[in-house]
Chain A
Amino acid sequence: DTAVSQTPKYLVTQMGNDKSIKCEQNLGHDTMYWYKQDSKKFLKIMFSYNNKELIINETVPNRFSPKSPDKAHLNLHINSLELGDSAVYFCASSQPSLAGATYNEQFFGPGTRLTVL
């Protein structure tokens, strides 16, 4: 009955490899997000999708490509992994917040710890 799930929980890989992290939510939300938490615990948004459409794209290298096959899934593909990509990646979901509407809480997944060697 997990609300937001991510796989894998841990990912260890070599520099230069391509890897994917999957995220699924069963809350019926239209909006999904990816956040990156670095080694100093700093959290920053990377992407946001609303109903499979990209709505937030922060300054993220184009080696990172989110893909949303349907509104319940938002996967993160990373090409040519670098040492600096090592971090914990969190997926989140919420109902969309339309202009002037009340904020809708974001529900976070358990995170995927990526280690690039």
Chain B
Amino acid sequence: AQSVTQLGSHVSVSEGALVLLRCNYSSSVPPYLFWYVQYPNQGLQLLLKYTSAATLVKGINGFEAEFKKSETSFHLTKPSAHMSDAAEYFCAVIPRRGYNKLIFGAGTRLAVHP
């Protein structure tokens, strides 16, 4: 079965530090990959997506992610954390095209401290 693994349920960084949230997927064919953000008591917002174009994907709010097929990874990064980045982040996969079912990872809670 297709799955998504997010390493680290909680990540804490200082304001201004690098943010790295890890995501690994299992898929027998090139998947679509996504990062969503959920702010407290809100719905999910798409940060960025990989759909087989450029392997380095830039998203909103300064986030980016790199698709590495050899490592089956799609880690999310941001060079400098801001207090407003504190939220829950979900990696998700659509395992095959034409099948719009998102499979989510367990989520990573990002805390940013002064």
**Residues of A that sit less than 8 Å from B by CB:** 4, 31, 35, 40-45, 48, 56, 90, 92, 94, 96-106, 108-111
Given A43-B90, A90-B44, A108-B45, verify A101-B98 contact (CB < 8 Å).
yes
**Residues of B that sit less than 8 Å from A by CB:** 32, 36, 41-46, 49, 51, 88, 90, 94, 97-104, 106-107, 109
**SS of A interface (majority):** loop
Given A43-B90, A96-B100, A111-B43, verify A103-B51 contact (CB < 8 Å).
yes
When distances are taken between beta carbons in the complex, the residues of chain B under 8 Å from A56 are 101
- Asked if A97 contacts B99 (CB within 8 A), the reply is yes
- Asked if B107 contacts A41 (CB within 8 A), the reply is yes
Give the residue among A4, A31, A45 with the most B Cβ atoms within 10 A: A45
Known A45-B102, A104-B100; 13 more pairs at CB < 8 Å: A35-B102, A43-B44, A43-B102, A43-B104, A56-B101, A94-B100, A99-B97, A100-B97, A101-B97, A102-B51, A106-B100, A106-B102, A110-B42
